[in-house]
A and B are shown apart, each in its own frame.
Chain A
């Protein structure tokens, strides 16, 4: 079987899984649906590996295979096919997506067990994986946009999974609306490209980029900026980031899969895939790098003060994706993709650990109420710490190698990029602090009462409630199930978290600068046409960067230990001293309030205006009422001719006769 046939299989497995679960939900028992979903993704992962093997069998120049299933639209001038593109970049994304999704499916089999909508969950998850793989494997803009939109829809479905919670549905709508803004940007950007190059498939567009556009051509920059709008909306970068923290309303496996490892990385994938365009329009790439840097700093600063565990990890995601965006925007593609891979491992792991902790807390998500779970949950502690180490970039973990490679490339670009790299290093320091803030606050210190209960062998139980608002709920469909599952007691959860912990620690060894360069070599065929891809920083520069990074990470961990572990009470004092800063950070830099004032209120006012003035007065009153009035007047006029008087009728007859004679007179003359 050729690589592209495996590619179609990669798509077919999750689609089949979704269809089987969705159509058979009445007859399938819960667990079976879970295993079917996981098996489907497992099949996809296996097919992705087969695809990889087949691809590597091809000679290097020919590692970009396109296969078309059928012609979607064919008109004069061009045609659009349902075609997939199998090349190293898409294969890498497929492997990451299907691999991490498989582990998360296994985790969810146990974690979501008592949920009344268990089967719906797996159907949605499979649909999401299918959409993400479609997005990644697409060979033309049309299929990309289809996958992009499906992924947005799946995200909405999964965020508002517990649909009876108003907070969840509102969050889902918010995510979807911001995603649609991105979709619009993507579509218009694709259209601008089509307008100039006349092609919609990647091969056609990229081949024509040099001829159709000059360096930093206005239309190309505009198209790239619009593509960036799409990328930033999907990847939760400033200013389209406000949906990601709210998206934590979804179940934890959803946060782990979509909002850490896969969907939010679609923007990074997009920029990497569109690299010929961005290299021809470096202005857009520079803007992207700046926004990535801003995001990584702002998000890390907010993560320092977040008290909700999941939201803290969400801001961490935002920050790390900022790193990835920075990486691909300074044309360090393999570094950016490498960080995408390692981040998928450790962030998914962190969310899984958080899920376990929240289950132990009986759905309580606030950091203030947690503490001292070290003894009660050793496995969760170990894996969570592994993820936190990778996040903080502790030396020799995967996060260490990937993050420092990006920063090394950034410095290598020179000029003002060095300033971006400095911000990157400062944020790495902040990252280490907030990562271990979480570790110390959750697992160290005085055990909370839930931890004490768990130490005694009894899982804490509380009346079901909404962690965001505190209002009471029940446990029927539309709300979380009554039981909570922690990693220590569920084999499936351990089976998922264990491999991820190992990968989070050891996966960095594939790309040690100067020693191994598996990722870079693998991705080389995709980025062969790039001018910048061979612009390596020297090995010594990279080692310097790594040394700086290691120092920063250890320093951050020590600072966090001092504030949260050795001298409890320090954080309260710091909050008092830097109160205005703390308020700014707690209110997430007031982005939500700004949007409310700048966008939501004018829109609501416009809507109200539309309803009252335009709809009621103008359309109803004037147009409809006016038409009715005119018709009524006309018909009452017509009615008034029916007087019933004979002589009037005779007069009208005569008048008509005169008119006819007049007509013939005029015609004949």
Chain B
């Protein structure tokens, strides 16, 4: 139950989320994996705040949650807009940045 266990767990979750971002093709699922990574970061923040004895890490984690929420809102809004325009919901097809 040392703090290091929490950090290792957080690293684990982060890497699973990263693998998911690279592997999945639906933007919805990619956003979910992004949530995973953000949560892993939260976990690490709170673990360190407990380690140091400061409440600042938790505040940081709270703000991260706010940001995650906003990001999800916008991301989902984009996906809905794409769906409404009958565009394929596939990350590999959205390659306008190719150059």
Which residues of A approach B to under 8 Å, CB–CB?
Answer: 639, 642-647, 650-651, 654
Question: Smallest distance from the beta carbon of A653 to chain B beta carbons, Å?
Answer: 9
The answer to the question of B52 belonging to the interface, with a C-beta cut-off of 8 Å to chain A, is no
- Which residue of chain B has its CB nearest to the CB of A652? B22
The answer to the question of B36 belonging to the interface, with a C-beta cut-off of 8 Å to chain A, is no
The answer to the question of B94 belonging to the interface, with a C-beta cut-off of 8 Å to chain A, is yes
Query: Which chain B residues border A647 with CB–CB below 8 Å?
Result: 21-23, 25, 91-92
Chain B 1-41: CB-based contact to A (< 8 A → 1; otherwise 0)? 00000000000000000100111010000100000000000
- Which residue of chain A has its CB nearest to the CB of B91? A646
Inter-subunit contact A644/B21 (CB<8 Å): no
Q: Which of A644, A645, A646, A651 contacts B99 (CB 8 A)?
A: A644
Q: How far is the CA of A37 from the CA of B87 in the complex (A)?
A: 94
Query: Which chain B residues border A645 with CB–CB below 8 Å?
Result: 91-92, 95, 98
Inter-subunit contact B94/A646 (CB<8 Å): yes
Inter-subunit contact A651/B22 (CB<8 Å): yes
Query: Which chain B residues border A643 with CB–CB below 8 Å?
Result: 95, 98
Inter-subunit contact B22/A654 (CB<8 Å): yes
Query: Which chain B residues border A639 with CB–CB below 8 Å?
Result: 99
Q: How far is the CA of A644 from the CA of B98 in the complex (A)?
A: 4
The answer to the question of B97 belonging to the interface, with a C-beta cut-off of 8 Å to chain A, is yes
Inter-subunit contact B99/A642 (CB<8 Å): yes
- Which residue of chain B has its CB nearest to the CB of A648? B22
- Which residue of chain A has its CB nearest to the CB of B93? A645
Query: Which chain A residues border B91 with CB–CB below 8 Å?
Result: 645-647
Q: How far is the CA of A285 from the CA of B90 in the complex (A)?
A: 96
Inter-subunit contact A644/B95 (CB<8 Å): yes
Q: List 6 A-B contacts (CB under 8 A).
A: A643-B98, A644-B94, A645-B91, A647-B22, A650-B18, A654-B22
Q: How far is the CA of A642 from the CA of B97 in the complex (A)?
A: 7
Question: Smallest distance from the beta carbon of B33 to chain A beta carbons, Å?
Answer: 10
Query: Which chain B residues border A646 with CB–CB below 8 Å?
Result: 30, 91-92, 94
Known: A645-B91, A645-B92. A650 touches B99 (CB 8 A): no
Which secondary structure characterizes the binding site on chain A?
helix
Question: Smallest distance from the beta carbon of A152 to chain B beta carbons, Å?
Answer: 62
Query: Which chain B residues border A644 with CB–CB below 8 Å?
Result: 94-99
Query: Which chain B residues border A642 with CB–CB below 8 Å?
Result: 97-99
Q: How far is the CA of A651 from the CA of B20 in the complex (A)?
A: 11
Q: How far is the CA of A103 from the CA of B13 in the complex (A)?
A: 108
Chain B 29-70: CB-based contact to A (< 8 A → 1; otherwise 0)? 010000000000000000000000000000000000000000
Q: How far is the CA of A645 from the CA of B94 in the complex (A)?
A: 7
Q: How far is the CA of A640 from the CA of B85 in the complex (A)?
A: 30
Question: Smallest distance from the beta carbon of A637 to chain B beta carbons, Å?
Answer: 14
Q: How far is the CA of A642 from the CA of B30 in the complex (A)?
A: 20
Query: Which chain A residues border B94 with CB–CB below 8 Å?
Result: 644, 646
Q: How far is the CA of A647 from the CA of B21 in the complex (A)?
A: 7
- Which residue of chain A has its CB nearest to the CB of B92? A645
Query: Which chain A residues border B23 with CB–CB below 8 Å?
Result: 647
Question: Smallest distance from the beta carbon of B74 to chain A beta carbons, Å?
Answer: 16
Query: Which chain A residues border B99 with CB–CB below 8 Å?
Result: 639, 642, 644
Query: Which chain A residues border B21 with CB–CB below 8 Å?
Result: 647, 650
Inter-subunit contact A650/B95 (CB<8 Å): no
Query: Which chain B residues border A650 with CB–CB below 8 Å?
Result: 18, 21-22
Chain B 68-98: CB-based contact to A (< 8 A → 1; otherwise 0)? 0000000000000000000000011011111
Question: Smallest distance from the beta carbon of B9 to chain A beta carbons, Å?
Answer: 17
- Which residue of chain A has its CB nearest to the CB of B23? A647
Question: Smallest distance from the beta carbon of B6 to chain A beta carbons, Å?
Answer: 19
Q: How far is the CA of A646 from the CA of B29 in the complex (A)?
A: 13
Q: How far is the CA of A647 from the CA of B95 in the complex (A)?
A: 10
Query: Which chain A residues border B96 with CB–CB below 8 Å?
Result: 644
Query: Which chain A residues border B92 with CB–CB below 8 Å?
Result: 645-647
Which residue among B21, B22, B91, B98 has the maximum number of chain A CB atoms within 10 Å of its CB? B22
Q: How far is the CA of A645 from the CA of B96 in the complex (A)?
A: 9
Question: Smallest distance from the beta carbon of B24 to chain A beta carbons, Å?
Answer: 8
- Which residue of chain A has its CB nearest to the CB of B94? A646
Q: How far is the CA of A643 from the CA of B96 in the complex (A)?
A: 9
- Which residue of chain A has its CB nearest to the CB of B33? A650
- Which residue of chain A has its CB nearest to the CB of B25? A647
Query: Which chain A residues border B30 with CB–CB below 8 Å?
Result: 646
- Which residue of chain A has its CB nearest to the CB of B96? A644
Q: How far is the CA of A646 from the CA of B92 in the complex (A)?
A: 7
Q: How far is the CA of A47 from the CA of B86 in the complex (A)?
A: 105
Query: Which chain B residues border A654 with CB–CB below 8 Å?
Result: 18, 22
Q: How far is the CA of A639 from the CA of B96 in the complex (A)?
A: 14
Question: Smallest distance from the beta carbon of A273 to chain B beta carbons, Å?
Answer: 75
Query: Which chain B residues border A651 with CB–CB below 8 Å?
Result: 22
Q: How far is the CA of A644 from the CA of B22 in the complex (A)?
A: 14
Query: Which chain A residues border B98 with CB–CB below 8 Å?
Result: 642-645
- Which residue of chain B has its CB nearest to the CB of A657? B18
Question: Smallest distance from the beta carbon of A646 to chain B beta carbons, Å?
Answer: 5
Query: Which chain A residues border B18 with CB–CB below 8 Å?
Result: 650, 654
Q: How far is the CA of A647 from the CA of B18 in the complex (A)?
A: 10
Query: Which chain A residues border B97 with CB–CB below 8 Å?
Result: 642, 644
Q: How far is the CA of A654 from the CA of B18 in the complex (A)?
A: 8
Taking A643-B95, A650-B18, A651-B22 as given, write out 11 further A-B residue pairs in contact, using a Cβ cutoff of 8 Å, ordered by the A residue number.
A643-B98, A644-B94, A644-B95, A644-B96, A644-B97, A645-B98, A646-B30, A646-B94, A647-B22, A647-B23, A654-B18
Q: How far is the CA of A650 from the CA of B17 in the complex (A)?
A: 12
Question: Smallest distance from the beta carbon of B15 to chain A beta carbons, Å?
Answer: 9
